[in-house]
Amino acid sequence: MSLWGERRWPVSLQHGPVGLRPLWVGDEDDWYAVRARNAAWTLPWDATRPAEATSPGLTFRQMVRRLDADARAGRALPWAITWTEPNGATRLVGQLTISGITYGSARWGMAGYWVDRDVAGRGVAPTALALGGDYAFTVVRLHRLEVAIRPENVNSLRVVEKLRFRPEGLRPAYMHVNGSWRDHAMFALHAEEVGAEGLLGRLLSARRDAPSAG
């Protein structure tokens, strides 16, 4: 029996110009190009390997294959974030991964994401997290979704604020980021807090209710 219920990996989701799909081995050149172009933008928030880590780092292809294996085994939901231009051209602009998925009496997972600075300010990250979160709650039937964010990462904090994630305090030295063990602010949502509206419905309602400029 599949841990995913009615749906099995691979899974692709879309709302407007924002899409989620599996990361492919053929994305290698595009992925490295986006990462290189955004090096200064993402470096302060990138996870790094502590000195005590003994296993070698993964190549891109190894990373994709491991993510795919984790997804098929029900341990993760690893997506490429895509953006479709008005002319129909679609490009890779980031990643969203719900990792550490646990079943049994816990049923939780941890979401992490990054996006290309070229599409910042267009609601890409909140929409991607809403799409992935709704899938995790309604199809995988997780009870809890967490996000850990560096307190200085204002842009990422705005993402969870828009989706009304609940703050749960600070975890000191929680994760190795940008060369050191860093404190992270923790945010979470439970399935019953989201309800039938869903995260995407919550996001769209907030956009409709926002006062227009001018």
* Percent with pLDDT over 70 in the chain: 93
Note the CATH architecture for domain 13-146: 3-Layer(aba) Sandwich (3.40)
**Domain boundaries of the chain, sorted by first residue:** 13-146
Q: State how far the alpha carbon of 63 is from the alpha carbons of 8, 36, 68, 78, 97, in Å.
A: 20, 17, 9, 11, 12
The three-point CA angle 116-51-150 to 5° equals 40
pLDDT digits (tens, 9 = 90+) for 45-71: 888 888 776 677 789 999 999 999 999
Q: Which of 93-102, 126-135, 198-207 has the lowest mean pLDDT?
A: 198-207
| Cβ–Cβ under 8 Å, residues 171 and 186 | yes
pLDDT digits (tens, 9 = 90+) for 5-49: 555 899 999 999 999 999 999 999 999 999 999 999 998 988 888
In the predicted structure, residue 79 carries a pLDDT above the cut 90? yes
pLDDT of residue 214: 44
H or E segment at 79? strand 77-84
- Judge if pTM exceeds 0.75: yes
Q: Which residue has the higher pLDDT, 208 or 164?
A: 164
**Averaged pLDDT for residues 67-88:** 96
